[in-house]
Amino acid sequence: MVRLVLVLGDQLSHNLSALRKADKGRDIVVMAEVADEASYVPHHPKKIAFTFASMRKFARSLRDDGWQVAYATLDDPDNAGSITGELIRRASEHDAAGIIYTEPGEWRLISALAEMPLKSHCLPDDRFIANHQEFDAWAKGRKTLRMEYFYREMRRKTGLLMDGKNPEGGKWNYDHDNRKPAPGDVDYDGPMQFATDDTVNQVLDLVQARFGHHFGTLRPFWFATDAAQARRHLDHWIKGGLPNFGDFQDAMLDDHRFLYHAVVGLYINAGLLDPLDVCRRAEQAYREGAAPLNAVEGFIRQIIGWREYVRGIYFREGPDYVTRNALGHTRDLPAMFWGAATRMNCIAKSVAQTKAEAYAHHIQRLMVTGNFALLAGVDPAQVHQWYLAVYADAYEWVEAPNVIGMSQFADDGIIASKPYISSGNYIHKMSDYCGNCTYRVQDKSGPKACPFNVLYWHFLDRHRDRFARNPRMGNMYGVWDRIDEIRRNTILQAAEDVLHRLDAGDAV
């Protein structure tokens, strides 16, 4: 009897485990654009358009490859509105014996599929380097789960940048050569931008009509929407961006939204690019002398290290991970995250870029928006929902550990050994934002004091019991305690004023 083979919008890979298991001559692939997936958080319109256009092209490529595909567009009058609803509809239409699917990347869908009244077979998503058992075996018995040690296992497993049993160049990690401040000039023209075709234009009209009210600008739309385009973009970046990727990984510039970043996260996560293949291409550039080791090692570490590690944490920690709130933060997400006015140039620029591109790079996410939310004590669940909605590369398995864990310390230090907080000084060092800001980054108090400066001390002061004994934070408490009491109170009062203005909805 016929079986249904579910392919989700982030499973657009021809070597997907569910497709490998299915019988091309008999089984039917089910793909569906559904309102539930597009709006369980208000996804950025560009992300929805990227997903739908890529799904349509992938369905076409499956048909070209001999598969029967039952594809529901969002405006199909029979569309059931959810993945499970579509499976039930197709099962009755084809009198199917059951469904085969590859494990989804969110607990929400994993449970919905497990509870379906259809015989189902869930397969591991083996587009990753480590499976759940391998990660759990690595994590078992360790007091702390530091990414660096897991990364070394992944280097050994893949053989990437290995010189026999040793790391290429003698060191596992070349981070100390990276993280230079913003360059004066950027000699890479950014991600390859693709002209829209008929498929993309139809999707753009549909998304504008149905989700145009979501936060985010839909047009111009230039993302790659199939594997061939994504590969062309990757080659373009390896040639133009990779050589400087390491040096300026943490820099931020007003006029250069992408700097030397790869902008491949959305393509890898959706299945258009294979992570191992991407790393091998980067390694090849190094072996051919086209990119230095610090850049290539740094890039490969992000993919086989961080990307695999955060996935391991998401699945190990379970569905309640996204509700964690170790620091007891309860403030509502300020309206400026959704584009309301702010006088903080770094936030204004990071949010405006997010709205325009459905993209911000790592340091903007971690040290601007994430840093501010943490310092201001915003409810981590609201922060999580924002990140999940606004970035084209966001799916819970990768977004939640980065937000709940790395950025908001809401998991009580599973991922980060100390909170990623900083005063305005870090942003000033790594960007050109402060020069155009209403606030003065050098002011620690007074009407023009940078809000990051006063909130930084407020955070440390209010969480003293938790962090004063943290070996990596003790020196900051030492600095704080050496400031005289009157001045400390002035700083704390200035921070209270900022928080009060935030709560009142004033433009901070």
Residues 400, 394 contacting (CB under 8 angstroms): no
Q: Which stretch binds ligand DLZ (CB under 6 A): 3-11, 217-225, 226-234, 249-257?
A: 3-11
Nearer to ligand SF4 (CB atom), residue 242 or residue 368: 368
Q: Per CB under 6 A, does 292 bind ligand DLZ?
A: no
Q: Closest by alpha carbon to 441, among 453, 430, 431, 459?
A: 453
| Binding residues among 298-317 for ligand FAD as defined by CB under 6 A | 299, 302-303, 306-307, 310
Q: Which of 42, 45, 104, 312 binds ligand DLZ (CB under 6 A)?
A: 104
Q: Which is nearer to ligand SF4, 305 or 424 (CB)?
A: 424
Binding mask 397-436 for ligand FAD (x = CB under 6 A): -xx--xx--xx-----------------------------
CB of 436 to ligand SF4, least distance (A): 8
Residues 348 to 387: which contact ligand DLZ by CB under 6 A? none
Element (H, E) at 123: strand 120-123
At how many degrees (to 10) do helices 451-462 and 474-482 cross?
110
8 binds, among ligand SF4, ligand DLZ, ligand FAD, none (CB under 5 to 8 A by kind): ligand DLZ
- With b for 16 or more beta-carbon neighbours within 10 A and e for fewer, the 140-153 pattern comes to eeeeebebeebbeb
Separation between Cα atoms, residue 20 and residue 237, nearest integer Å? 31
Q: Which span sits near ligand DLZ by CB under 6 A: 26-34, 168-176, 260-268, 418-426?
A: 26-34
192 binds ligand FAD (CB under 6 A): no
Max intra-chain CA distance, the chain: 79
Of 390, 398, 379, which is closest to residue 352 (Cα–Cα)? Answer: 390
- Angle, CA of 81, 226 and 74, to the nearest 5°: 15
| 277 SS3 class | helix
**From the list ligand DLZ, ligand FAD, ligand SF4, none, which binds 109 (C-beta under 5 to 8 Å, kind-based)?**
ligand DLZ
Establish if 265 lies at the interface with ligand FAD (CB under 6 A).
yes
Residue 3 main-chain phi, psi, to 5 deg: -120, 155
- Within a 10 A sphere around the Cβ of 238, how many other Cβ atoms? 21
Report what 265 binds from ligand FAD, ligand DLZ, ligand SF4, none; CB cut-off 5-8 Å by kind: ligand FAD
Residue of the chain from 4, 5, 8, 366 that contacts ligand DLZ (CB under 6 A): 8
Residue 137: other Cβ atoms inside 10 A: 12
Quote the CA–CA distance of 448 and 487 in Å, as a whole number: 16
Residue ranges that bind ligand SF4, judged by CB under 6 A: 344-346, 424, 427-428, 433-434, 437, 439, 441, 450-452
Minimum distance from residue 83 beta carbon to ligand FAD (Å): 20
**Partner that binds at residue 434, options ligand DLZ, ligand SF4, ligand FAD, none, CB closer than 5 to 8 Å by kind:** ligand SF4
Query: Which residue has the closest beta carbon to ligand DLZ?
Result: 9
Residue written as token pair 């550990």: 401
303 touches which of ligand FAD, ligand DLZ, ligand SF4, none (CB within 5 to 8 A by kind)? ligand FAD
Q: What contacts 224, CB < 8 A, 6 or more positions away?
A: 192, 194, 230, 232, 233, 267, 272
Closer residue to ligand DLZ in complex, CB, 10/250:
10
**Stretch (H or E) spanning 99:** strand 98-102
Q: Which residues of this chain interact with ligand DLZ, rule CB under 6 A?
A: 8-10, 32-34, 37-38, 43, 48, 51, 83, 104-106, 109, 395
